Amino acid sequence: MSRYRGPRFKKIRRLGALPGLTSKRPRVGSDLRNNSRSGKRSQYRIRLEEKQKLRFHYGLTERQLLKYVRIAGKAKGSTGQVLLQLLEMRLDNILFRLSMAPTIPGARQLVNHRHILVNGHIVDIPSYRCKPSDIITAKDNKKSRALIQNFLDSTPNEELPKHLTLHSAQYKGSVNQIIDSTGVGLKINELLVVEYYSRQT
């Protein structure tokens, strides 16, 4: 299944806020369609919606998300927590959380177009897994810095999660530690996602 490229508001109305998918917000009253559906939601549908929320927020294909679930299942600790850590430590998500890109698809484009350095080396793989002490910077040229300055200026000043530090004057961010559960930027019940996949196999 390919990456979603359709109307983003449609997904927000159905699944709720997805800050990684779009920086826009629906007008007041336009999100009422979701609540107008009558009938009780099945347990399967609840689990499916949580999985879809995770997938669309981080901009993953179905195959990519399944791969992350399998990696998390083999790691020590809670599968749901490890899954969120894997997704949050992706380079495209780190750029988004540092406000160096307006959305995760926007961050992916920055990385694909080779505007981003990690520890002084160009990285053009959005799924690159960042580690503590990694330094993420804009490439030292006018175009790359202008793009990121534009994003930094247009993004509201939100408090950064504790695992990240931003030095906006230097177009630089750093990863301080592995993210903990309180720093995740999406309200989600990750256990339902794990349960969804465990019932598919």
Q: Given this model, what pLDDT does residue 1 score?
A: 41
Percent of the chain residues past pLDDT 90, beyond the cut: 36
- Residues 133-182 have pLDDT tens digits of 999 999 988 999 998 898 888 776 667 888 999 998 889 999 999 888 77
Instruction: Delimit the domains of the chain by residue range.
Output: 8-86+183-200, 90-178
Q: Given this model, what pLDDT does residue 32 score?
A: 39
Topology annotation, domain 90-178: 3.10.290
Q: Given this model, what pLDDT does residue 174 score?
A: 94
Residue with tokens 């600790």: 77
Q: Given this model, what pLDDT does residue 27 score?
A: 54
Q: Which CATH architecture has domain 8-86+183-200?
A: Orthogonal Bundle (1.10)
Q: Given this model, what pLDDT does residue 16 score?
A: 61
Q: What share of the chain is helix, strand, coil (3-state, %, to 5)?
A: 50, 10, 40
H helix intervals, the chain: 8-15, 33-36, 43-58, 62-74, 79-88, 91-97, 104-112, 142-154, 190-200
Whether 87 and 54 have beta carbons less than 8 Å apart is answered as yes
| pLDDT tens per residue across all 201 residues of the chain | 455 555 555 555 556 666 555 555 555 444 434 444 545 778 888 899 889 888 888 888 899 999 999 999 999 889 999 999 999 999 999 999 898 888 888 899 999 999 999 999 999 999 999 999 999 999 988 999 998 898 888 776 667 888 999 998 889 999 999 888 777 777 888 888 988 888 775
Q: Tokens standing for 119?
A: 């520890």
Q: Given this model, what pLDDT does residue 123 score?
A: 94
Within this chain, domains 8-86+183-200 and 90-178 share the same CATH topology: no
Q: Tokens standing for 168?
A: 């906006």
Q: Given this model, what pLDDT does residue 137 score?
A: 94
Contacts of 75 (CB under 8 A, 6+ apart): 82
